[in-house]
Structures are given as C-alpha cells and as structure tokens.
Structure 1
Amino acid sequence: MPNPKRQLIGRRSKVAGEAFERWISDACEFYLRNGWAHIEKTPEPFHITGKDRNGVVRGYYEKKGQPDYKGILCDGSGIMFEAKHTDSDRINQNVVTDTQWKNLDIYEKFGAQCYVMVSMGLKKFYRVPWDIWKIMKDLFGHKFMTEKELEPYRLREKQCTILILEGVELKDENTKNRACK
C-alpha cells in the first residue's frame, strides 16, 4: 500500500529539484549573455506511447541517461555537470546514476571540467569537482557529504543568480579572439 507521507516528500523533492534546475538554467543564460560560457540543459529522453482523440500526447520519461548540463567555456574547454537537490543534511554519492557517472568520467578524460552541483534545501549551493565526488569514501570515510564537507565548494549568489562558474579556472588565458570578455 502506498505511503502518503513518502509520496508527499517525494513530490516536494521533485518540485525543489526542478526549481534548482531552473535556477541553474537562469545562471547559464547569465553566463551566455556575458560571453563566458554556453551551457545547455540536456533534454530528458521521452518515449511517446500514443495520442488521445484530443491530440494529447501520452508517454513517459525514460531513465536518465546523461548528466543534466553540458557546454563550452569561453576558453574552448568543455564543461559537464549533474544537478542534485536534497532536503537532508547530506548528499549521497549514489544519487548519480551509473550512466551519469560513466558520462562524467568520459568527459573528464577528454579534458572537460566536470562537477556535481548540489542544492541543500534550496538555500545553500555547492559545485563539487567530479574528481572529489568520486573519492568521497576515501576522503571522508563514507559515501556521502555533509554540509561541513561541502563547505569548500560553496557557491555564492548575486542578484538572485547562483554563480555556478565563479572560481572555475580557464585553461587558456589567451581568449582575445574568443567570447570571453
């Protein structure tokens, strides 16, 4: 029998996660307008099962395949990250799916900057480097990160924008002929 309390918690978490992704997408627009990066939300694969008489499409979202965002920084280097929200006092390593893990590893091997963006209660935001996320058991003794462990990766907000790229080092400082301003 379904547990109404768990269903409510699940719905709240889904709505909060969607809000976090909207805020990240707004930040991506900010960075594009300023010529610093072009980062796009990866569309979720949707499987159409049919249409009803009124033309309403029926279907379902397939299992997440890729990390949420990917793009290019103004120095020509790639960037990819997964966005995760929690209302808990910790973020578990296993919230990144096997497929997302594999894709982040591939992009990292090709030289892209890879991260997991974390929202804690839609109040605090963090950008955890992928190479740190992967070894949290070795670093912290457990497969999760607490607010204290996340603190070095805390992101600032300015004028209602999460500064998702603040402090990201460019690989090529000679950007005269590129979009960087």
Structure 2
Amino acid sequence: MQEKGFQIRYRSLQNNGFGKNFEKVISDACDYYRKKGIAEIAKIDEPFRVIQLYKGGKFKGQFTANANPDFEGTLKGGRSICFEAKYTTTDRLKQDVVSDKQWEVLDLKHKLGGFVGVCGGIQNKYYFIPWEVWINMKSLYGRKYVKQEDIGEYEVPYRHGIMFLDYKTNGK
C-alpha cells in the first residue's frame, strides 16, 4: 500500500516537472516571436496569495481562484491569442485536461475572434490544435482524445522553443 502511494506521488511530481518544462519551452518561443516583432505573448501565472513569509524568499501560499489559460497576448496586426498548454507522456491527449474555467475563457475569446487553441505535446511531438478542433473532438475523431496520427496537420516544430505559430503543414 505504501509503495503504491509512493508511485502515485512520484508520477505526480514527474508530470508536474514535464508540464513546467513544456511551458518553459513555449515561453522560449514567445521570446523569439517578441524579438522578431511577430507577437507579444506572456505566460499567465495562477492566482494566489501569500499566507506566510519565510527567510530566503520562501513563503506559504494559497491559490485564490481557478487557473485561466496558460498564455495570452497579441499577434502582429492586433488579433488576440489565448491558449492552454498541455503535455502528456502517453499516446493521447484527453479533452478533459482543460478545466471548466479554462474552457470558459478559451471559448469566450474564440467567440470574440481571438486565435485560440491548445498547444499540446504528445511524447516527442508538438501541436497547436485550434479551438474549433479541440471542442469538436468527439464529432471529428469519434472520441474525446486525440493521438498523434489524428492531428498531424497541426504539428509545429521545435527550434527556438515550441514554435506554436509555425504549422509544419497547412494547419492554419
């Protein structure tokens, strides 16, 4: 029983690490796009408040609200962009990994004309899946998850980070 608990905690820490690294390489691409004058996109931190301060810059904190999507900004020309970042080591990216709050915000921004989607990593490949595709996953693919073979047209390269605006094919 104790072994199983350890495995669950270890897997959770491992997944958290993969997710943080995934967001970091997306941020690297944001920096590249900013320097090239293509877009201004920033990582949005989760809302929290500090409960207690400790020495060495450490603190105890508490989340104050459900998280919004991970990245927001503006593309050259003025169109807004908003997307959630999701990574998995499995062979599928599940629709329900986007929280209700994130779904609500992404859907509203999509309806207002923003460039909206999910930047997804499945094992060693990366994708920017448009919101229209994400929300219609069940009708498009017959299930509420996607595999690499489903979304090849939305694959994006890894160069200066995960180049989420640079589809390898005609995904845009």
Query: Tell me, which stretches of 5 or more residues in structure 1 are unaligned?
Result: 170-181
Query: Tell me, which stretches of 5 or more residues in structure 2 are unaligned?
Result: none
Relative distance call for 1:25 and 1:54 in structure 2 (3 A) is closer
- Report what 2:83 is aligned to: 81
Which structure 2 residues correspond to residues 1-181 of structure 1 after superposition, within 5 A? 3-52=5-54, 56-62=58-64, 64-121=66-123, 123-158=124-159, 160-167=160-167
CA distance in 2, matches of 1:151, 1:6: 32
Tell me which amino acid in the other structure corresponds to 2:50. I
Task: Give the stretch that moved more between structures: 60-69 or 5-14.
Answer: 60-69
Tell me which amino acid in the other structure corresponds to 1:139. L
Equivalent residues, number: 167
SS at match of 1:157: coil
- How far does the alpha carbon of each residue in 1:20-50 deviate from its partner, in whole angstroms, 9 at most, with x for none? 0000000000000000000001111112222
Q: Offset of 1:12 from its aligned partner? A: 0.8
CA RMSD of aligned residues (A): 1.9
* Seq. identity, %: 34
Q: Offset of 1:60 from its aligned partner? A: 2.9
CA distance in 2, matches of 1:124, 1:137: 22
CA distance in 1, matches of 2:16, 2:96: 17
Relative distance call for 1:63 and 1:4 in structure 2 (3 A) is farther
CA distance in 1, matches of 2:162, 2:55: 43
- How far does the alpha carbon of each residue in 1:107-133 deviate from its partner, in whole angstroms, 9 at most, with x for none? 111110001000122x21000000100
Tell me if the contact between 2:26 and 2:162 (Cα under 8 Å) persists in the aligned partners: yes
Tell me if the contact between 2:47 and 2:63 (Cα under 8 Å) persists in the aligned partners: yes
Relative distance call for 1:54 and 1:124 in structure 2 (3 A) is closer
CA distance in 2, matches of 1:55, 1:85: 30
Q: Offset of 1:151 from its aligned partner? A: 1.5
Bigger fraction of residues in helix: 2
Relative distance call for 1:52 and 1:37 in structure 2 (3 A) is closer
